[in-house]
Structure 1
Amino acid sequence: MIIAVKLSKILLVAGVALFSTLVVFNNLVDYPSNYLYVQHVMTMDTTGNNAQAAWRAIYDPVIWKVVYGLIIALESVIALLCWAGVVCMSLDMHSKGFHDSKCLALLGLTLGILLWFLAFMGVSGEWFLAWQSRSWNGIQPGFRVATLFLLILLYLSQKEQ
């Protein structure tokens, strides 16, 4: 039973690592699609731009590119930490050090939760009011990813009996 639980945890982290890798790949290969998301969210051009919040909008393409680059970089770090976690856990699967080998995976999952929760729900959704946009609202996808990562993090952090 313990081997099945350990294998389950390794496979779930591998799933997160693969997902994050695919996100990075898509952001690099199809750069304009999600760059447009960053641009529209930061300019607040699809939120109705009410006068009270218009001062928050950012119209500088350099800042858009820097922000998008940071998002891709963070997604890359998440993928790398989770892949490294998969390797560490796999190597220690049959040892008593398995619980301690989860460190990198836990960091990757935590960073993923922070990225998708803070960037997509907090900054995008609340600061730039993306919740008001019908076309560039990343709150639901951000919530789904952050929630899945959190559930996996909670499961992973439990010590095997």
Structure 2
Amino acid sequence: MNHLTTDQIIRYSKVILMAYISFFGLLVMYSNFTDYATNYEYVAHVLSMDTTQNNEKTSYRAITSPLLHHRIYWLIITLEVTYTVYCLMGTYQLFRNIHASAKKFHEAKKFSIIGLLIGLFIYYVCLQVVGVEWFNMDKSQTWNAKDWARHIVDFMLPLLMYVTLKIER
């Protein structure tokens, strides 16, 4: 361990943390493809707003079409696949450039940054903003992923900041 410099450890930590979030993406993708019905049911209930407190002032927001449920769920799956692929490519690029110059290592962060931004779009914008604020997902006792999504954002956002920092020498 004494032969590693702090700069090398920082570089390795960025690769390792990107590998963690990529692994999470792979598990989410696996779940979406192997248990489509359960995950579809979640999306359908949130969009239908059928397990939230029925309020006439907000019920007009509900989407009750199963066709739209499937389309929206496939959009989410597509975004999750895209986020995962970018994060995997970012992890690979960082690892490939781990011993490169600071400039080259910094440039290798592009895919990681794009992947994390897509991930934040999914888990913050889609779930926390649209799911909670528009479809009242947080009012459902059964189909509420607000806290789950918040935990992901709580990891992704600091990771995005950490990866983008140009502190390598």
**Cα RMSD for the two superposed structures:** 0.8
- 1:11 paired with 2:16, answer yes
- 1:129 paired with 2:99, answer no
Which of 25, 29, 35 is the equivalent residue of 1:30?
35
Partner residue in 1 for 2:68: 63
Which of 140, 143, 164 is the equivalent residue of 1:157?
164
Structure 2 distance, partners of 1:103, 1:137, is: 33
Q: Render the CA deviation track for 1:104-147: whole Å, top value 9, x for unaligned.
A: 00110111011100111111111001111111111111111112
- 1:144 paired with 2:151, answer yes
Structure 1 distance, partners of 2:95, 2:129, is: 35
Counterpart code for 1:8: S
Counterpart code for 2:51: T
Structure 1 distance, partners of 2:48, 2:129, is: 16
Indicate if the aligned counterparts of 1:6 and 1:93 stay in contact, CA closer than 8 A.
Answer: yes
Q: Render the CA deviation track for 1:41-96: whole Å, top value 9, x for unaligned.
A: 11101112211111111110010000100111100011100110111111111111
Offset, 1:33? 1.2
Partner residue in 1 for 2:125: 118
Indicate if the aligned counterparts of 1:43 and 1:58 stay in contact, CA closer than 8 A.
Answer: yes
- 1:2 paired with 2:26, answer no
TM normalised by structure 1 equals 0.97
Which of 46, 50, 56 is the equivalent residue of 1:45?
50
Gap runs ≥5 in structure 1 = none
Structure 1 distance, partners of 2:165, 2:154, is: 17
Counterpart code for 1:27: N
What count of residue pairs does the alignment treat as equivalent?
Answer: 161
- The alignment partner of 1:41 has SS state of helix
Indicate if the aligned counterparts of 1:13 and 1:86 stay in contact, CA closer than 8 A.
Answer: yes
Give the ranges of 4+ consecutive aligned residues of structure 1 lying more than 4 Å apart after TM superposition: none
Offset, 1:151? 1.0
TM normalised by structure 2 equals 0.93
